[in-house]
Amino acid sequence: MAYRLVILASGSGTLAQAVCDARTDLDIDIAVVISDNPAAPVLHKAQSAGIPTQVISVGASRHEWNVQIVEHVAAHKPDLVVSAGFMRILPADFVNRFPTINIHPSLLPNFPGAHAVRDALAAAVAITGTTVHWVDDGVDTGPVITQMEVPVLPGDDEATLHERIKKVERGLIVATIALILPTLERHV
């Protein structure tokens, strides 16, 4: 029986696409792709792949959004939640209930937060990279699962460096999911 995944994404969907493309190899069923952004290209990509989508926008009440995200994900009974470019901090009751991983464009604990690539360039590091980590109730503070280094090349700007990191991330997220699936408690 396939593992059930829920993907959370806010943007273009390149990470979600990598996971979708590996569905057969990973023996996973992607129950739904949920976005906080109704205009996110990831929604169209998921629909084109035959995967249901939902939008849960953050409105006037962050508390109400927190309740909605927990309820919507719980309805799908996931074995794993994959945050793939999801630009929202998940509430503590969410991450305490659902095993959730995130991919971040730095070698955590270096450069947490929304501007990791810019921060790495500003610090003039020679090497940065990407990290897949368990999500806790902090900002990029959960335990590291896997990491891969990406060199900072002369002349790199935020866009060129981030694009090279994204290429590495697509392979790393799939490999990490394959690594951790056998360790998960199944929700049959």
pTM here is 0.95
**Domain definitions of the chain by residue range:** 3-183
Q: How far apart are CA 112 and CA 102, in angstroms?
A: 12
Per-residue confidence (pLDDT) for residue 59, from 0 to 100: 82
Query: Widest CA span of the chain, in angstroms?
Result: 51
Q: pLDDT tens, 44-96?
A: 999 999 999 999 998 878 899 999 999 999 999 999 999 999 989 999 999 99
Q: pLDDT tens, 83-142?
A: 999 989 999 999 999 999 999 999 999 999 999 999 999 999 999 999 999 999 899 999
Q: Please tell me the CATH superfamily of domain 3-183, with its number.
A: Formyl transferase, N-terminal domain (3.40.50.170)
Q: Is 104 a catalytic residue?
A: yes
Residue 175 pLDDT exceeds 90:
yes
Q: How far apart are CA 147 and CA 20, in angstroms?
A: 21
Catalytic residue among 44, 72, 76, 104, which?
104
Q: pLDDT tens, 152-173?
A: 999 999 999 999 999 999 999 9
